Structure formats: structure tokens, C-alpha cells
Amino acid sequence: MSSSASHRPAVLVARQVFPDTVARLRQHFDVEAYEGHTPIRRDELIARLQGKAGVFVAGTEPIDADLLQACPSLKAVCSMAVGYNNIDVAACTARGVLVTNAPGVLTETTADFGFALMMATARRITESERFLRRGEWTHWSYDLMAGQDIHGATLGVLGMGRIGQAIARRGALGFGMKVVYHNRSRLSEAEEAAIGARWLTLPELMAQADHLVIVVPYSAGTHHLVGAAQLALMKPTATLTNIARGGVVDDAALAEALKAGQLAAAGLDVFEGEPQVHPALLEVPNMVLTPHIASASLATRRAMAELAADNLIAALTGRQPLTPLNPEVRTSA
Ligand code: DGY
């Protein structure tokens, strides 16, 4: 499908991305690139998608049935994110629109960050820095900013996909942690044995973890999976780290639980309704808050963008994309 006189497929790059990724796409397509810093407005997205065969997105552009109906030329939606809760894959499949995401290329970088956030949370790194910058450090004290150990502690992983397993490996093999996890499907016996991981029910996981790291994908089924009832099960010395998606944790309930001392500290990279942050979270001192940057090393962001571009090129030149979410849909320009 093409709207251009050159008969090359027309595509929209709907998020700012590396200029050389856009340049590569221009070798294959008539490219319109949205240049705004913030996500494109929905009405503008729909307007710009008229006559486009493909769209390059991130995890921030909602692609749903109404949009697909309003953009009948669309054949491929290629995201540079691994999480795809912004895309209604079933609606895309029903309309013959191919969808791809970007798994694999960000696994180790995201696991590095999840582990770093967990450590910063347990050892009160940012809280300490704020204290020091405020000029409040006047003397050494036996309990000054004393936190929780990582080595030898019990690491709880909620969501044992690629990233969960990479975090578990870091904990088990690098820090001598005991690994417990909850996931819809269990690892194989060999995979469990390699990192000494033990499957638990969700309530057991909440109760046993010294450090809980959440990496489960967001869906209607995982909305507020960790809410007041689950938080109440945690040890008062435990920490919680969320690098999955906002909405998996009930942020208001988390702020309340921290204020009540139901757990020791929390680290959040993702928020319900981000980039807005629940005001109650900003009032809690024992938190590390970061702006959705778990996959943000330059090399990995480049790899994510390149994979999305490869997928878009394949999808619109009649080849099978590398990482399709609905491989049953086959498309060409
Ligand atoms: C992902 O790839 O899903 C990251 O969260 C960035 O959106």
C-alpha cells in the first residue's frame, strides 16, 4: 500500500528516535517523522497515518481498534519497546495488521538496572545523597542510613520471563541470594536448578522475599496485582522494586504501606499514569524514583530502535519480521 508517487510504502515514525534509524528507513520508504518531544496526540496520529502502510512506535502510542478503523491503509505496527500493553494485538490481528515488539535486545540492560534499583533501594543510596546535599550530615553514627543487605538475602522475582531470569541469575550467581519466584508458568527443573530457584504462590512470595523485584507484563489480569492485601504480607524489612509497568502495583496503596512501615523501602521506575507520579509517593522518603529508564543504555536503545526498523522493513517488503507478536498475519506493501 502506498500513497506516494514513487510507489514506495509510506510510513510514519511516531516517536523521536535516532536520526540514523530514520535515515535507514528512508532508504526503503517514504518516511514522515514526528519531531515532537512528547507523545503524538491521538488525533494527530490518526491524521498522519492516513495513507501510511506502517508505523514505528514505542511503548507510549495507544494502537486500538478505533484507531485501526480510522487508518485503513495500515499494515504493520512496529514497536521499539518489549512491553506492548499500548497495542491491542487482537484488534490488529483481526484487521490483518502485523505487530512486532523488541524482545531480547534489552534483557541484560534492563536486568542490570533492576538490580541496581533494588540495591539503591535496599542501601538507601538516593535517600543518603539527598540527606548529604541538604547539609544534614554532621557526624558518623552507628545507624546512619543503615539499610538491608543484598548478599545472602532472599530475592523474590514476580514474573520469570527473560528479564526476571536475568535478574535471578545476577542474584544467585553474583550475590549468593536465594531465589524464589512466582510466574504463571514454572521454569523447567533444569532452569530452576541452575539458579536454585523455587516457585511460590503469590502470597508466599510476598511473605518470603527480602527483596521483591516485579517484572511481570501489564495486562487487565495483572492490574494492581500488588495492592494493599499483598503489601500487608511483606516483611517490615523487605524492599519492593517495580521495573515492569505502572499499574501492576497500586501506587497509592504502596505509599500507604511505606508510611505505615509495612515494608522498608521501594524503588519504582514505572508509575500508574506516568509521566505523572502519584503525589503520595513523592512524600515518602524511603523510595528511589526513576523516570522509566530501565532499558536506557545508549547501546540498548539503539538496538531496540534498529530491531523495530528491521521489523518494519521486513513486514513491508514481504519478509517475515524477526519478532512478530501475531505471526499468523502476513503482510507486504
Ligand atoms: C519496554 O521496552 O517495554 C520498556 O519499558 C520501554 O518502554
Q: Which residues are catalytic?
A: 245, 274, 292
- Cα 330 to chain centroid, rounded: 27
Nearest to 84 by CA among 111, 69, 62, 52: 62
Q: Give start and end residues of each alpha helix (H) in 27-170.
A: 42-48, 65-70, 89-94, 107-122, 125-133, 162-169
Cβ neighbours, 10 Å, residue 271: 20
pLDDT at 26: 98
Q: Which atom of ligand 1 is nearest to the CA of 83?
A: 3
Distance CA 153, CA 137 (A): 29
- Predicted confidence at residue 7, as pLDDT, reads 83
21 phi and psi, to 5 degrees? Answer: -70, -45
Tell me: cis bond preceding 9? Omega within 30 of 0 counts.
Answer: no
> What pLDDT does 110 receive?
98
Q: Whose CA is nearest to atom 6 of ligand 1?
A: 81
Q: What are phi and psi of 228, to 5 degrees?
A: -55, -40
325's CB contacts (< 8 A; 6+ apart) are 84, 87, 89, 99, 100, 101
Ligand 1, residue 58: give the atom nearest the CA: 7
Contact 8, 313 (CB under 8 A): no
Closest residue (by CA) to atom 4 of ligand 1? 81
Cell numbers given for 153: 538475602
Instruction: For cell 503482510, name the residue.
Output: 331
User: 82, 105, 300, 306: which to mutate for ligand 1, most atoms within 8 A of CB?
Assistant: 82
pLDDT string in tens for the chain (333-residue length): 444 456 899 999 999 999 999 999 999 999 999 999 999 999 999 999 999 999 999 999 999 999 999 999 999 999 999 999 999 999 999 999 999 999 999 999 999 999 999 999 999 999 999 999 999 999 999 999 999 999 999 999 999 999 999 999 999 999 999 999 999 999 999 999 999 999 999 999 999 999 999 999 999 999 999 999 999 999 999 999 999 999 999 999 999 999 999 999 999 999 999 999 999 999 999 999 999 999 999 999 999 999 999 999 999 999 999 999 999 997 655
CA–centroid distance, residue 113 to ligand 1 (Å): 13
pLDDT at residue number 259: 98
> Which residue in 286, 283, 212, 293 sits closest to 252, CA to CA?
283
Distance of CA 104 to the CA centre of its chain: 13
Q: Please list, in sequence order, all residues whose beta carbon lies within 8 angstroms of the beta carbon of residue 258, skipping any fewer than 6 positions away.
A: 265, 266, 284, 286, 287
Cβ burial 37-46 (10 Å sphere, 16+ → b, else e): eebbeeeebe
Helical (H) or strand (E) element with 20: helix 19-26
Chain segment 163-182, per-residue pLDDT in tens: 999 999 999 999 999 999 99
Q: What share of the chain is helix, strand, coil (3-state, %, to 5)?
A: 35, 15, 50
User: Which value, to the nearest 10 degrees, does the dihedral of the CA atoms of residues 89, 91, 96, 101 take?
Assistant: -20
Output the CA torsion 53→58→59→61 (10° steps). Answer: -50
